[in-house]
Structure 1
Amino acid sequence: MDNSRTDAGELAEYGYRQELRRSLSVWAVFAIGFATISPVVGIYAVVQLGFVFAGPAWIWAVLLAFLGQLLVAVVYVELSSQFPVTGGVYQWVRRLAGPRQGWLVGWIYLASAIASLTTVAYLGATWLHMLFSDGPLEPLHHVLLGVVFIAVALGINLLGVNPVKHFLNAGIVAEGVASIAVSVFLLVFAHNNGFGILFETLGAQAASGGSVLAGFLTCLAVAGWAFLGFDATTQVAEETEQPRRNVPRALIRAYLFVAFTVLLTGLAVTLALPNPEEAVAGRLADPVFTAVTAGLGGWSEKPFIAVVLLAFIACAISIQTYIGRAVYAFARDRQLPFSATLATVGPRQIPWVSLVVTAVLASLGLLLGLNGNAAATLIAFGSGGFYFVFLSVAVVALVARLTGRWRPSRGRVDLGRAGLVINVLAVVWLLFEATNIAWPRVELAPVGGSWVQVWAVVLVFSVLLAVGLVYVAIAKPHTRLPANQNQNQEEKLETP
């Protein structure tokens, strides 16, 4: 059987013709998911904040975030098996709850995804600076290096799907060296602390008014960043061979492998750090770098930085890959201003206009870094948006199950009653974690920051939601769907 013809036929049933190049195997989709979640980007971004707020016990917050997000990933596995189309959450919510709701969730998703690209570029700029200089990184230079980061990722994406695959494979190798190999070495040869330290805070609660619980919750809010991005696999469904089977497989494999790597690295760094009290006091800008260079020796500094930098670049490439597809999916349904232009597919069969526009928007977000260290603010902002989207999708899926609107089809991923239980637990987890992330905390704002920065997550996403509601009311994008987009899909949702 010609799978490409079968895939194109299934896509036509959803009202779309094959425009993107369908050339991604399950391994290539796994690479996109792995590079987007990225254990290096995830753990290296939160470890310093984790130590400051929870001490060595921060690792338990990471474990809890992993278990909670595993529930969400399973819900996404069922949905991605049912809907093999580019657009992910936008497509799912539109078809299960209606076009208005789909537009609003897609709008918040795009803003969050662009914020995540900004965050990765901002964090990666630090490593780029470390590769060439040992001096302090000034805010303006930090922002400019972040722009360079985004420009490199854009340039590689514009070369086409195959070059992206090669760079992501290199990123996986870099992740393996920087995370797994180094972590195993640290656990075996540079074990400076006993396992009992994992249950100590070393006074970290002082940063949260003396409350261990408050410190742990702050740490958990930050730890949620480490498990974002597994939905990137769903954005390339129309470029994937046999997407009903390969996208869900790639999604769950990427998530589990990244989770294993994150937990291994977190454990290794915590046990290997020579003076964990220094990390708790905030005197170590990067506990991972300190633990690695102390364990391997001074010679390892530049090689380790180069490997980590490669992993960050691969992550930025992957994020930009799926953001471009998300904008393309929105635009081809005439849901955005200048949709015809944004939906342009170039000779390399990639949505190049969407890629350029999202790169420009992500670069503008870097301006937040001009006001000192913006890492915590950007992480909270990016996480907050994604968790709002996670919650929206989980609630829509649960309501659709309970009302009979959606029944995962036989022959695909259908967990039956177990799927319903997991869906309920996912909603409970997301209600808690979304609230926890959005909770205004002075300790996550820049030093001397205003109340606007303390309430940044709530304020920004309230504004985004308000703008979205106004746009839906005035522009009515849900009425501009192409004629071939039949909203009445009950038969498609319930039959194999």
Structure 2
Amino acid sequence: MQENPNKKTSRTGSQHHDSDAAHLATLGYKSEFRRDMSPWANFSLGFTYLSPVVGVYTVFAYALAQGGPPMIWSLLITGLGQLLVALVFSEIVAQYPVAGGIYPWARRLWGRKYAWMTGWVYLIALFVTIASVVYGAGPFLAQILGFQASVDSTIICAILILVLATIINFLGTKVLAAAAVIGFTAEIIGALAVGSWLLLTQRHHNLGVLFHSFGAQGSHSYLYAFAAAGLIGTFLYFGFEACGDVAEEVPNPGALIPKAMRRTIYIGGAAAMFVCLALVLSVADIPAVISGKDVTPVDTLLNAAFGPVGAKIVLGIVLISFLSCTISLQAAASRLSYSYGRDDMIIGSRLLKKFSAARHIPPHSLLLSAIVPAIIVLGSKVSTDALTKIVSFASLGIYVGFQMVVLAALRARLKGWRPSGKYQLGKWGLPVNIGALVYGIIAMIDMCWPRTPNAAWYDNYIVLVSGAVVVAVGLLYMMIHRSYGHSNMPYNDAIPKKHDSHQSVHALNTRD
């Protein structure tokens, strides 16, 4: 008698779910999420968070003006650096596939106080990044709708995008997964189509231009200009960690999420390089961008290549990328705040850990990830300059959160941690971990480096100042509320305890 293959697949899936639930139980949790997110959707979530179209289109003009065409090579350097970070994260999530990512990883690798600060910095960075993405999308939507460019129209359009992203997230994991796949498909097709069309119809330079700075460095060393232009890469290459933020919504996460993280870097990086290459080779007057005569080279190029109607269609594709990016960011932020709430680690935990049995999502955590970014966006009505100062923290905060986990992993390794998940680097674990930390430190120094000597000191050091303010507020909160001590959930358990080693030796001697 032949077995029904569908029945066999169903039984295999059920075994995976049982195994995932059992693994999570050993870590101290019983998940309320449904494992409805396929490997493809999990990758798409990371890709749309990384969003090569959003990243390149947003920072291209700045990077080209700072470093000229050779700035494209910074994408390769930062991509390799962040791949090292992704490999470290892959080992961690394989052993600790818990919703929230950065915070629970730091908790298991180091301890409660360290995890609280890691989660705090990363959560604020996510809120600010959501605000910066929807605010950056505002002018695109306003242009499509025919609104007059203004702060008011940008705010209204930004809030509309934020509301739409929130509604999609409220519909549950299946809808989130579908939105991520649709966003990925639209973005990758758009990137390939627009890039190919530009290369076919608007190309003004050959590949040799990628080694020509056009004097962008001025009187400085070109290394200084390249470092400034390299911010395009540091702004772009994160998002892979979102694959791990939803670890309790993916079947067999220990094996599948590490693959999704690496693919996010490979495919997202390749798409970003292609888009950037097409734009560089198609900008007719590069010196005009460097001198500041053309401050919107992307708009200039799209209008020339596609005309008014075609440019609006391209802007529509870009807008889908912005929306997908917002949805993914919001999903990551809500899972992190839910994870915080589930462990009673912050004021409002009673609400943040509430779960919708119907939708299988944390509704109050999702609302928080909409309300805080909305407040930041509305703040631009009072002062656009203030919004710029707040947003300047976004990339640094995410890198700080990353590197706190990388440092915790390195410390744990040196204290005896041996990754035991389904993905392991083996003998390469320590050198990769060290390389990821060195890269992260260099990237953060580059972000904080003062580049406006004629500005007031607090503007010249705005990225560093904003980072210091977030950390200081977090430390003050920890001193006053001491939320980090409210939870009895496991922590610092990656590192073998001395008595465990003695028990292991005793057990071996007994067997002998």
- TM-score, length of structure 1 as denominator length: 0.92
Is the 8 Å Cα contact of residues 380 and 437 (structure 1) preserved in structure 2?
Answer: no
2:30 is aligned, of 17, 27, 48, to 17
Is the 8 Å Cα contact of residues 216 and 225 (structure 2) preserved in structure 1?
Answer: yes
| Alpha-carbon distance between aligned partners in 2 of 1:279 and 1:123, rounded to the nearest angstrom | 20
The residue that corresponds to 2:138 in the other structure is 125
Percent identity for Structure 1 against Structure 2: 32
1:77 is aligned, of 90, 101, 106, to 90
1:312 is aligned, of 319, 322, 332, to 322
Q: How many residues align?
A: 485
The residue that corresponds to 1:288 in the other structure is 298
2:396 is aligned, of 384, 393, 399, to 384
The residue that corresponds to 2:283 in the other structure is 273
TM-aligned CA distance change 1:203 to 1:139, over 3 Å = farther
State the AA in 1 paired with 2:234: G
TM-aligned CA distance change 1:46 to 1:355, over 3 Å = same
The residue that corresponds to 1:456 in the other structure is 462
| Alpha-carbon distance between aligned partners in 2 of 1:195 and 1:379, rounded to the nearest angstrom | 34
The residue that corresponds to 1:185 in the other structure is 197
The residue that corresponds to 1:107 in the other structure is 120
| Alpha-carbon distance between aligned partners in 2 of 1:463 and 1:379, rounded to the nearest angstrom | 13
Structural mapping, 1:286-365, within 5 Å: 286-346=296-356, 347-365=358-376
Identify the range of structure 1 (292-301 vs 148-157) with the bigger mean alpha-carbon deviation.
292-301
| Alpha-carbon distance between aligned partners in 1 of 2:300 and 2:244, rounded to the nearest angstrom | 37
Cα displacement (A) at 1:103: 0.6
Q: Does 1:201 align with 2:207?
A: no
| Alpha-carbon distance between aligned partners in 1 of 2:262 and 2:299, rounded to the nearest angstrom | 29
Q: SS where residue 304 of structure 1 aligns?
A: helix
| Alpha-carbon distance between aligned partners in 2 of 1:344 and 1:367, rounded to the nearest angstrom | 27
Structural mapping, 1:139-150, within 5 Å: 139-150=151-162
Identify the range of structure 1 (287-296 vs 9-18) with the bigger mean alpha-carbon deviation.
287-296
Q: Does 1:237 align with 2:242?
A: no
TM-aligned CA distance change 1:351 to 1:134, over 3 Å = closer
State the AA in 2 paired with 1:48: A
Q: Does 1:47 align with 2:60?
A: yes
Is the 8 Å Cα contact of residues 48 and 321 (structure 2) preserved in structure 1?
Answer: yes
Q: After superposition, what is the alpha-carbon deviation per residue over 1:305-341, rounded to whole angstroms, capped at 9, x for unaligned?
A: 1111111111101110111001000111000101011
Q: Does 1:467 align with 2:478?
A: no
The residue that corresponds to 1:425 in the other structure is 435
1:395 is aligned, of 407, 411, 417, to 407
Is the 8 Å Cα contact of residues 235 and 322 (structure 1) preserved in structure 2?
Answer: yes
The residue that corresponds to 2:235 in the other structure is 225
State the AA in 2 paired with 1:43: V
| Alpha-carbon distance between aligned partners in 1 of 2:470 and 2:435, rounded to the nearest angstrom | 28
Is the 8 Å Cα contact of residues 384 and 457 (structure 1) preserved in structure 2?
Answer: yes
| Alpha-carbon distance between aligned partners in 2 of 1:408 and 1:460, rounded to the nearest angstrom | 35
TM-aligned CA distance change 1:487 to 1:69, over 3 Å = closer
State the AA in 2 paired with 1:256: Y
TM-aligned CA distance change 1:153 to 1:451, over 3 Å = farther
| Alpha-carbon distance between aligned partners in 2 of 1:375 and 1:227, rounded to the nearest angstrom | 23
1:68 is aligned, of 72, 81, 96, to 81
| Alpha-carbon distance between aligned partners in 2 of 1:112 and 1:365, rounded to the nearest angstrom | 12
| Alpha-carbon distance between aligned partners in 2 of 1:303 and 1:140, rounded to the nearest angstrom | 24
Is the 8 Å Cα contact of residues 42 and 177 (structure 2) preserved in structure 1?
Answer: no
Identify the range of structure 1 (384-393 vs 35-44) with the bigger mean alpha-carbon deviation.
384-393
Is the 8 Å Cα contact of residues 40 and 308 (structure 1) preserved in structure 2?
Answer: yes
State the AA in 1 paired with 2:233: A
State the AA in 2 paired with 1:319: L
Larger Rg: 2
Identify the range of structure 1 (194-203 vs 3-12) with the bigger mean alpha-carbon deviation.
194-203
Q: SS where residue 142 of structure 2 aligns?
A: helix
| Alpha-carbon distance between aligned partners in 1 of 2:233 and 2:380, rounded to the nearest angstrom | 21
Q: After superposition, what is the alpha-carbon deviation per residue over 1:237-274, rounded to whole angstroms, capped at 9, x for unaligned?
A: 00111110111111111121100000011111101122
Is the 8 Å Cα contact of residues 111 and 385 (structure 1) preserved in structure 2?
Answer: yes
TM-aligned CA distance change 1:95 to 1:486, over 3 Å = closer
Is the 8 Å Cα contact of residues 70 and 211 (structure 2) preserved in structure 1?
Answer: yes
State the AA in 1 paired with 2:133: V
| Alpha-carbon distance between aligned partners in 2 of 1:398 and 1:311, rounded to the nearest angstrom | 35
2:226 is aligned, of 216, 221, 240, to 216
| Alpha-carbon distance between aligned partners in 1 of 2:92 and 2:31, rounded to the nearest angstrom | 21
| Alpha-carbon distance between aligned partners in 2 of 1:196 and 1:134, rounded to the nearest angstrom | 41
TM-aligned CA distance change 1:140 to 1:454, over 3 Å = farther
What do you get for the CA RMSD once the two structures are aligned? 2.4
Cα displacement (A) at 1:177: 2.5
| Alpha-carbon distance between aligned partners in 1 of 2:493 and 2:187, rounded to the nearest angstrom | 44
Cα displacement (A) at 1:179: 0.9
The residue that corresponds to 1:167 in the other structure is 179
State the AA in 2 paired with 1:176: I
1:485 is aligned, of 490, 494, 499, to 490
Cα displacement (A) at 1:455: 2.6
- TM-score, length of structure 2 as denominator length: 0.89
Identify the range of structure 1 (14-23 vs 362-371) with the bigger mean alpha-carbon deviation.
362-371
State the AA in 2 paired with 1:228: F
The residue that corresponds to 1:87 in the other structure is 100
Structural mapping, 1:436-447, within 5 Å: 436-442=446-452
Is the 8 Å Cα contact of residues 240 and 265 (structure 2) preserved in structure 1?
Answer: yes
State the AA in 2 paired with 1:9: A
Is the 8 Å Cα contact of residues 119 and 378 (structure 1) preserved in structure 2?
Answer: no
Q: SS where residue 442 of structure 1 aligns?
A: coil
Q: Structure 2: any 5+ residue segments left out of the alignment?
A: 1-11, 505-512
